[in-house]
Structure 1
Amino acid sequence: MNDRMTPIPFPKLMEWILIEKEHVFGIKQIFKTTSHKYLNLFNEKLEIPCGPAAGPHTQLAQNIIAAYLAGARFFELKTVQTLDGEDLPVDKPCIRAEDECYNVEWSTELTVPEALEEYIKAWFALKLMSKEFDLGDPNGFIFNMSVGYDLEGIRSTKINTFIEGLKDASSTPIWHACIEWAKSHLQAFQCIDETYLLGISSHISSSVTLSTLHGCPPDEIERIATYLLKEKGLHTYIKCNPTLLGYDFTRTILNQMGYDYLVFDTHHFEHDLQFDQAVPMLERLIALSNKLSLTFGVKLTNTFPVQITRSELPGKEMYMSGRALFPLTLSLAYKLAHTFKGNLNISFSGGVDAYNIKGLFELGIYPITFATTLLKPGGYNRFYQIASLLNTSKEVPHKPIALSRLYTFLQTTYTDTHYTKAIKPLPARKIESSVPLLNCTFAPCQKGCPIEQDIPEYIRLVGEGQYLEALKVITLKNPLPFVTGTICNHTCTTKCRRNFYEEEISIRQVKLEAATQGFDALLETLTPPSIQSPHKVAIIGSGPAGLAAAYFLARSGMDVTVFEKRKALGGIVRFVIPDFRIANQALYKDIRLICQYGVKFELGREITSLDALKSEGFQYILIATGAWQPGHLNLEGDVPLNVIHFLEQFKSDPSVLNLGKNVAIIGGGNTAMDAARAAKRVPGVENVYLVYRRTKRYMPADTEELELALKDGVLFKELLSPQQFKEGMLTCIKMNLGHPDASGRLQPIPTEEKVNLPIDTLISAVGEKVDTDFFKMNGLPIDTKGFIIHDPFTTELLSNTFVIGDARSGPSTVVSAIHDATLAAKTILKRENLIFSSIPTSTHSLRTDEVYSKKGILKTNGSVEDESIRCLECDKICECCVDVCPNRANVTLDVEGKKQILHIDCMCNECGNCTIFCPYNSAPYRDKFTLFHTLEAFNSSTNSGLFVADFTTKAIKLRIDKKISILHAHELDDRFTLKPFILALFNEYAYLI
């Protein structure tokens, strides 16, 4: 296995197309032009002014074909230069696109002659497909060549042959090969005859985009453009760099939008083309093009160079694109358009997607090309929505460019959350498991939930208005639907694949809607079960862990009593979490649900002895006492108010609190955010400061909680480490951030500088502890940090004695408490030969067309019920690695009714994009079953896969988990779990071999 791609011969390419027809190269929604409006560009007709940028999506013929099928009609072919093929070193992986995108390659990895052949093959294939499949006008698309990077190279024989071959391919061997194949296979077509074939134009491209390297001198750029216009007669666009905006502007805008972590200096800004050099050069070239009756313009923009500081990709410098680049590119578009009073042709690429393309086009900016959005899940299928938007646009693009509208559009981008960066780093999207060779489809949201809620199922049911059924699905694993539907930290959403489209599914809100709408009906269906065991269960504590354990055990027929030392149930949720986050009524509804199963409660009774409970006949004891003890803050001077005590007082009666005007919270977790927001609501408080030794980006609090605190007006005092609190003055040491620690957060490093803050009340929120007195009194082991010493893989401390929730491992979340309760309940029920619960049975069949219709479609939140439309139903179909591969090297096979993934080695250049988006902690191009087309490639790889030595006899060389077998496919027996997969490859997908 290596990173060199092997182009598909034209006959094989057409065989693939004609066999697959309705889903060629994984394109599930094939776009057909419905409008007969055309733009005139380069004296050619253009149906839709968008397509793939010069990049990974225009390198191979199949890439261009896939883009056309999905809706693209303008193709900026990948840049060629004299340095090509194996002489061009490209570090791999070369793409990283989980949010804004980065790459470390810039021109075709093929040889220039190979690139020429690929583009001619793609052109000819599109001429055949557009006519045969009635996809649009066969003359309604444009190929735009891209060359670089200096005049000497562009004038070389190699590049000149490439340019002339695209201007007129009629004398090239590949053109004749395409014609001859089509003539000999006319019987395979219904709408194509020899007359049509002979009428296919061999003039493939009459335009060029000039790409220059950073630092290219202005006079060199002008010489190249002049050469392309005068000597080659090509309509010419010059690709410009974002560095034309200047360092100060660029740094300010990126910092303002949350990209302050990007590292770059003034080097490129000083050595690249300057704006005051660009304007007179463009004026001269415009005049020249007008004289020659050719089109001239600028292509905005190149990717933006930044330093590699965290091993994001190999090397020292990478190139940024995607949503972070859009505001910069639009800024440059406005600056140039304003200078030329709108009379400058601007082609646009840089963070464009379905959200902004229509606005750009109607301003008069086109053609528009894409790369980053196509690298994300949905892949080429994203063109369908984009093309539909432009195909149905009734507004004629402005000429000259509409400057006032462009300015208004630009101003919105600087604060639009579609382009700004979240306060905190992206969470981990992957699960820890490795991808299996077969049956890899699963719902990442479900795996991201500590109790593995059946999320796609209840989202679908809510979308259908089946609230009772949805709530039944939820409460099989979750007895606190109102609490978790309100304050769950919803880690499920961090795994949601919709994050790579626009924003996660509102899973928590859907759950709450199911609970709200289905609660009364569910209560009517519930009756206390008969007691199925002679053994009683005692649960100490009525927080989320204790309540959940009581629910699971009582539901399955256990006699359960919950002991609570306070006069009300609910623990931290009831007494500490503020009302503005969750009202007591939500908790009470969940408690009503638990009561329906006959759980008994003893309030106002504090348990101090496990032996006493055992003497009362309790066979099983669950300790769920929470974490109520104050955390330790190493601070000189006065003792601060503990956050738990403060929040208890606030929830009980905020009017009795006298905090003064200035309040400071020390800490950066969710509890600190609660305290800060609560303090803002206390009468008399004017300023609330949240003091933390790192920046917001590295606070442990959830992004949502940080944003709510900011919205409430909490003032963040970052990079301050409290040292002393005395006589109303908080003295802090100013910190700097150093290198990452083991957690990946940048380490705070103290400076010599100190900062004083006048504070009336100081609240410590540095992490609560478990009350260890109870454990010590009962002889239970405690470590030096005050945590229970226990096996991390079980909740059982002693025989039939369990510890769950915060008492087990310190302050955590409600859903983690339910997880602990689940583990303990399952252990007990297994000993009692009782069933925990049944697995929910899906009531709907797989609707592949509906699922596929969602791929690539960007759609923001609507109603809660609409979330089922946005849900990608990953539990049914994944194919993420198929979507995101530019080269179509991952394909889907239907094997015995299941979707399986095959990796095709010769089509892969190891760009690494599938690695980024695979929900497993894996690289599909290495870890999925691979088809090798040469024995050399098979032998040089460690992938599980096969090489077909003889197709007729089905002789294969097979490797599974590093074990090699040489045999014939018909000799496979049941020892080979991949037998059906391999036989399907021969019998149904032979065209892939």
Structure 2
Amino acid sequence: MGKVTGFMEFERQEEGYKPVPERLKHYKEFVIGLDDGQSKVQAARCMDCGTPFCNSGCPVNNIIPDFNDLVYQGDWKNAITVLHSTNNFPEFTGRICPAPCEAACTLNVNDDPVGIKSIEHAIIDRAWAEGWVAPQPARHKTGKSVAVVGSGPAGLAAAQQLARAGHDVTVFEKNDRVGGLLRYGIPDFKMEKTHIDRRVAQMEAEGVVFRTGVLVGAMPAGSKVTNDAKETISADELKAQFDAVLLTGGSEQSRDLPVPGRELEGIHFAMEFLPQQNKVNAGDKLKKQLRADGKHVIVIGGGDTGSDCVGTSNRHGALSVTQFEVMPQPPEQENKPLVWPYWPLKLRTSSSHEEGCSREFAISTKAFIGEKGKVTGLQTVHVEMKDGKLVEIAGTEKEYKADLVLLAMGFVNPVASVLEAFNVDKDARGNARATTEFTGGYATNVEKVFAAGDMRRGQSLVVWAIREGRQAARAVDEFLMGFSDLPR
């Protein structure tokens, strides 16, 4: 422990943001990370608890007190070694993870938690700058081959672990670039895609083969899921060509809002809107990009995807942006003695909200209204919770003007065609049925077919996807070799 009294001497320091007028002009990252000195001071606040709840609060079980102490001591090289021991891609989580570790920080009981996420961000950025992140090819090959379907965080984590174990790994991605929802679901201003590109280069040097534009199975007719596939491959072909298959696709089936007027032009899923801007940022030419310029935008859904729609709409130059959330407004401050060390329900204001957005809580859309086939507004009513159900409040009906409506109400399940192509059993939510037991975990009902990430657990966080990818890699390695030295 670097400084025994650090938590009493130093206050939490947040990462900064570039000014709103400046950052709205581009799609680059705008977070100002902590410098070395600030990181050292923040790391000094770590109490080195007897029971560090931050470890269990983190889905990948980062060894947080250890790398905090190393940063305080100025030993950045060993800090990245400790961080990489549990997390393949801290540059992803250091930017877009909501940091459940900080909610679980012991200091958070009655004070501001240690800025764990900002320290993680500083460690990995320093490591890339110093050239400490290098390929780690396997010393010996096993002669076994694995197909990983999906190149999101779960697929990438699993592929890297399996390649380092000596297996021949091929990653199949239906889109034109690697990254899955990291690539096309998260705006560049939250995470620039160069972070994915350099990890792909590292993994290729470790022996991973990436095949983009390849659809496994068949996409349902009329699907709104991003798909750039130029070729298809059947489930039977994959099972015949590889010793094991790991399904790690994202939960991409968006939740719809089937109310009157849904067929009007100008109502789109968030995942129709966000990927297009990312493609344009990457240099693609789109004939008819879905844009918010000069429009009154309504975003339905109060989560992270909705926030991303708000930020993108503001960068387009929307006249106004309003975000709807059907649940009541949560408290600004959680009841810490009641909820710590668990993830608290409280009001969260993102950087996108601060850039310009009206927020409406406890509001439900009853119908879309329009003229000449185009949406012009919404009919809404406020709701309240009674006996565990949301009920309408009489007299609160209202109409909102809207030229563009973006549905960002979460995702219900992965694209069913992939699971059906492999005849994988599904759970009640439409996800692949597979347990996380230590022995035989992540295996589906189909011989040598495994599932992990959103494909298995449903819509979740990037950090959960990385955890599942790592654990599934161990399960696959054990299946192929009879044992595994990979960490779980």
- TM-score class, shorter: 0.7 to 0.9
Corresponding residue for 1:476?
85
| Alignment of 1:506 onto 2:115 | yes
Residue pair 1:445, 1:455 contacting (<8 A) in 2 also: yes
Describe the superposition over 1:553-609 as per-residue Cα deviations: whole angstroms up to 9, x where unpaired.
111222211111222111111112111111112222333343342212122222223
| Alignment of 1:717 onto 2:360 | yes
Shift of the alpha carbon at 1:524?
6.7
* Match of residue 235, structure 2, among 607, 610, 613: 610
Percentage of matched positions with identical amino acids? 26
* Match of residue 771, structure 1, among 406, 415, 418: 415
Shift of the alpha carbon at 1:498?
1.9
Residue pair 1:479, 1:590 contacting (<8 A) in 2 also: no
1:182-581 equivalence runs, <5 A: 441-519=50-128, 521=130, 523=132, 526-581=135-190
Q: 1 CA distance for matches of 2:320 and 2:134? A: 51
Q: 1:584 to 1:634 in 2, by over 3 A?
A: same
Shift of the alpha carbon at 1:814?
0.8
Residue pair 2:443, 2:450 contacting (<8 A) in 1 also: yes
| Alignment of 1:696 onto 2:329 | yes
Shift of the alpha carbon at 1:632?
2.1
| Alignment of 1:649 onto 2:273 | no
Gaps of 5+ in 1: 1-27, 30-377, 387-439, 742-746, 839-993
Could you state the TM-score of these two structures normalised by the residue count of structure 1?
0.38
| Alignment of 1:819 onto 2:467 | yes
Q: 1 CA distance for matches of 2:72 and 2:131? A: 18
Residue pair 2:331, 2:345 contacting (<8 A) in 1 also: no
Q: 1 CA distance for matches of 2:136 and 2:434? A: 36
Q: 2 CA distance for matches of 1:567 and 1:587? A: 14
| Alignment of 1:630 onto 2:254 | yes
Q: 2 CA distance for matches of 1:597 and 1:776? A: 32
Shift of the alpha carbon at 1:788?
2.6
Corresponding residue for 2:209?
600
Q: 1 CA distance for matches of 2:350 and 2:136? A: 42
Q: 1:585 to 1:658 in 2, by over 3 A?
A: closer
Q: 1 CA distance for matches of 2:345 and 2:278? A: 22
Corresponding residue for 1:752?
394
Q: 1 CA distance for matches of 2:133 and 2:470? A: 25
Shift of the alpha carbon at 1:676?
1.7
Corresponding residue for 2:309?
675
Letter in 1 for 2:486: F
Could you state the TM-score of these two structures normalised by the residue count of structure 2?
0.75
Q: 2 CA distance for matches of 1:652 and 1:834? A: 39
Q: 1:556 to 1:651 in 2, by over 3 A?
A: same
Shift of the alpha carbon at 1:610?
2.5
| Alignment of 1:731 onto 2:373 | no
Q: Secondary structure at the match of 1:696?
A: coil
Gaps of 5+ in 2: 11-48, 218-233, 282-287, 333-342, 371-375
Q: Which has the higher contact order (CA 8 A, sep 6+)?
A: 2
Q: 1:445 to 1:695 in 2, by over 3 A?
A: same
Q: 1:589 to 1:462 in 2, by over 3 A?
A: farther
Corresponding residue for 2:486?
836
Q: Secondary structure at the match of 1:706?
A: coil
Q: Secondary structure at the match of 2:239?
A: helix
Corresponding residue for 1:805?
453
Letter in 1 for 2:390: P
Q: 2 CA distance for matches of 1:829 and 1:770? A: 25
Q: 1:517 to 1:704 in 2, by over 3 A?
A: farther
Shift of the alpha carbon at 1:508?
1.4
Paired residues in the alignment total: 398
Letter in 2 for 1:786: G
Q: Secondary structure at the match of 2:316?
A: coil
Q: Secondary structure at the match of 1:445?
A: helix
Q: 2 CA distance for matches of 1:771 and 1:497? A: 40
Q: 1:512 to 1:538 in 2, by over 3 A?
A: same
Letter in 1 for 2:247: I
Q: 2 CA distance for matches of 1:690 and 1:535? A: 50
Residue pair 1:688, 1:715 contacting (<8 A) in 2 also: yes
Q: Secondary structure at the match of 2:434?
A: coil
Q: 2 CA distance for matches of 1:619 and 1:702? A: 44
Shift of the alpha carbon at 1:701?
11
Q: 2 CA distance for matches of 1:687 and 1:524? A: 43
Shift of the alpha carbon at 1:643?
0.7
Q: 1 CA distance for matches of 2:199 and 2:331? A: 34
Q: 1 CA distance for matches of 2:133 and 2:461? A: 30
Corresponding residue for 2:244?
620
Q: 1:803 to 1:544 in 2, by over 3 A?
A: same
Residue pair 1:482, 1:589 contacting (<8 A) in 2 also: no
Describe the superposition over 1:47-96 as per-residue Cα deviations: whole angstroms up to 9, x where unpaired.
xxxxxxxxxxxxxxxxxxxxxxxxxxxxxxxxxxxxxxxxxxxxxxxxxx
Residue pair 1:724, 1:732 contacting (<8 A) in 2 also: yes
Residue pair 2:249, 2:454 contacting (<8 A) in 1 also: yes
Letter in 1 for 2:419: F
Corresponding residue for 2:320?
687
Q: 2 CA distance for matches of 1:452 and 1:524? A: 21
Q: 1:615 to 1:799 in 2, by over 3 A?
A: closer
Q: 2 CA distance for matches of 1:496 and 1:706? A: 21
Shift of the alpha carbon at 1:784?
5.3
Q: 2 CA distance for matches of 1:580 and 1:703? A: 24
Q: 2 CA distance for matches of 1:523 and 1:621? A: 32
Q: 2 CA distance for matches of 1:661 and 1:565? A: 32
| Alignment of 1:584 onto 2:197 | no
Shift of the alpha carbon at 1:730?
0.1
Q: 1:488 to 1:566 in 2, by over 3 A?
A: same
Corresponding residue for 1:959?
none
1:31-110 equivalence runs, <5 A: none
Shift of the alpha carbon at 1:767?
1.4
Bigger helix share: 1
Q: Secondary structure at the match of 1:789?
A: coil
Q: Secondary structure at the match of 2:243?
A: strand
| Alignment of 1:789 onto 2:433 | yes
Q: 1:524 to 1:474 in 2, by over 3 A?
A: closer
Q: Secondary structure at the match of 1:820?
A: helix
Q: Secondary structure at the match of 1:710?
A: helix
Residue pair 1:523, 1:593 contacting (<8 A) in 2 also: no
Letter in 2 for 1:629: Q
Residue pair 2:55, 2:64 contacting (<8 A) in 1 also: yes
